[in-house]
Amino acid sequence: MKKIIAISMFLFCLANINCLAEDAQGLPPVYLKVSSAAVSSFDATADWAPPQDPKATIDGDLLTRWASNYLDNQWISFDFGAPKTLSKITIVWESAYAADYDILVSDDNQNWKVIQSLKERRGGTEDIEFAPVKARFVKIIGVKRVNPDWGMSIWETLFFGPAKDNPEDKPLSEVYPQLAGKLSGKETKAAQAEIEKPLPSPGALTAQEFQKGVVYTSWGREELGSAASDKMLEYLSNLGVRHLAIMVVWFQDTNEEKAVYADPKDTPEDSALIHAINKAHSLGMKVMLKPHVDIKTGQARIDIIPSAEWFASYKDYLLHYAKLASQYNVESFSIGTELVNTTTPNWQPSWEGIITDIRGVFPGLLIYDANWDEYEAVGFWDKLDFVGMDAYFPLTGKKNPTKEELTSAWKGHFDTIGRWLNDKKINKPVIFTEVGYCSADGTNIQPWNVLSNLSEEFIDQQEQADAIDAMLTACTAYPWFKGFYWWNYFPQDRWSPLGYTIKGKKAEEVLSGWFKKL
């Protein structure tokens, strides 16, 4: 599933799962712990799918999920290890939910009985209650997916039954206390109150501090406000991240459209974005707000054809987020990302007007994220606080370069940037607003190229790790270089054998080590 949405909108319902009707003896229902799970298939979309773990939906962790392949009638089954009396199931669906699905039970994992056949469902958090039934196995079959381009995906599945019939089981708060605590009504109300008011910045961003950051990416309406996102931000803080570039994306239908717009499913809601800003600030991280424009046809944003009408629409887009950034104490703001066709000299007055208007509402520092082959053509660096580059520079022509060769290539790029700064008399710190590599053999040759076909490319975590190590080794000799943001981290775990994300890979160890040195 390529466009994702998290679960914050469902927390209130989940917060009340311990308030189920009491049984005849006055005891609340208990949580039925599952011993194992099995599935019919996994999503294998590199860099988007979650780790391939059937137990991800029963681990008490809202950061993990299961996703199927892109076919109807995929299923997930659960084994309690012994017969249990079941009376309620709570399913926390990801946005790739099943519109029609059946729930079946079995004593032997071979002969199944349908106990619920649900039609035209709307996803979210679903509570399915029924007369108590005794069974060892439960299966959920996704008869029809809500979107034929997606699979079926579940964050968490919770089973409940009468306490008197399940003497070995306990309330959820005793089995998964952290999950129960996160989903309590009291904590949910506190989180909502927190979103309504800005948290203070951990400190003003200065032009001379070294920015140690990652780009935090979401194409989900509410994902940035979810418990999964909070947990990932805590993880990044512990990793040593002190600067967080939060991407927010609007869209246009083709590269020639005259307006950009917020997508109702794929653009983060303001409330979710605000929550992520507040969470980052509470962890001591400084925030860059990083607006992007994506094209629905799949074309790259470097192909966008500008017009006066486009610039008017784009300015409205930026001003909305610049005002939000000011209200919520965001430290820096990007005025654009890789808009190559728009930064030619004939459009410079439009950019200067945008910069002036943003300065009028946002007191923090401004940057533009030039593509690696665009920065020399940008004519308004003197109006900004930083020179920003999405640094996907080609390094060598080899699939197996040594670290020394990679470091030498990076020194060549730094030397070129230094000469350009000197020649143009640009006295601004340089920030790599994006830098990254796939974990694939040959990624250094074309770092901007997304490698996604496992049958054609070879997994190579070492080259990814060596490339970032080479960049950080080289950069220390250039005093004008003041930081970078690694592309990318998501608000949840992803199955990414060839992708850019480095969570759990060799490159993450390298990055964490450098964060401690810098």
Coarse DSSP helix, strand, coil percentages of the chain, rounded to the nearest 5 percent: 30, 25, 40
What does the pLDDT look like over 395-447, one tens digit per residue?
Answer: 999 999 999 999 999 999 999 999 999 999 999 999 999 999 999 999 999 99
For residues 497 and 185, the model is more confident at 497
Residue 433, H or E segment = strand 430-435
Q: According to the model, what pLDDT value does residue 257 have?
A: 96
The first and second tokens of residue 436, run together, are 């990254």
**pLDDT higher for 189 or 275?**
275
- pLDDT-based confidence at 241, cuts 50/70/90? very high
Domain boundaries, the chain: 8-180, 209-517
Please, what's the b/e burial string for 14-44 (b: 16 or more CB within 10 A of its CB; e: otherwise)?
Answer: bbebbebeebeeeeebbbbbbeebebbbbbe
Residues 151-176 pLDDT 10s? 999 999 999 999 999 999 999 889 98
If 0-12 CB within 10 Å is exposed, 13-18 middle and 19+ buried, where does residue 167 land? exposed
| Residue 186 pLDDT level (bands cut at 50, 70, 90) | very low
Confidence of residue 237 (pLDDT cuts 50, 70, 90): very high
Q: Which fold has domain 209-517?
A: TIM Barrel (3.20.20)
**Helix or strand holding residue 325 (H, E):** helix 308-327
Q: Pick 317 or 11 by higher pLDDT.
A: 317
Please state, in angstroms and rounded to a whole number, the distance separating the CA atoms of residues 148 and 435.
34
Closest CA to 435 of 396, 405, 395: 395
Q: Say if CB 493 and CB 64 are below 8 A apart.
A: yes
Mean pLDDT of 249-264: 96
Confidence (pLDDT) at 380: 98
Q: What does the pLDDT read at residue 452?
A: 54
Please write the tens of the pLDDT for every residue from 289-342. 999 999 999 899 999 999 999 999 999 999 999 999 999 999 999 999 999 999
Segment 243-252 shows an average pLDDT of: 98
Average pLDDT, whole number, for the chain? 90
The Cα 476–Cα 466 span in angstroms is 16
Span 282-291, pLDDT tens digits: 999 999 999 9
Q: What is the pLDDT of residues 481-517, one digit of tens each?
A: 999 999 999 998 777 888 899 999 999 999 999 999 8
Task: Give me the pLDDT at residue 492, please.
Answer: 81
Class of the 8-180 domain? mainly beta
Q: How far apart are CA 17 and CA 160, in angstroms?
A: 9
Angle between helices 506-517 and 461-475 in degrees, nearest 10 = 20
Give the pLDDT confidence score for residue 209 in this predicted structure: 96
Q: What is the mean pLDDT of residues 62-67?
A: 85
Does residue 23 have a pLDDT over 80?
A: no
The token pair at 198 is: 């800005």
Which of these, 69, 71, 42, 70, lies nearest to 54 by C-alpha position? 42
Angstrom distance (rounded) from CA 459 to CA 499 = 9
* Statement: residue 24 has pLDDT above 70: no
pLDDT band at 22 (very low <50, low <70, confident <90, very high): low
CA distance 422 to 414: 12
CB atoms within 10 A of CB 511: 22
Query: Has residue 16 got a pLDDT over 60?
Result: no
Q: Which residue has the tokens 């004939």?
A: 346
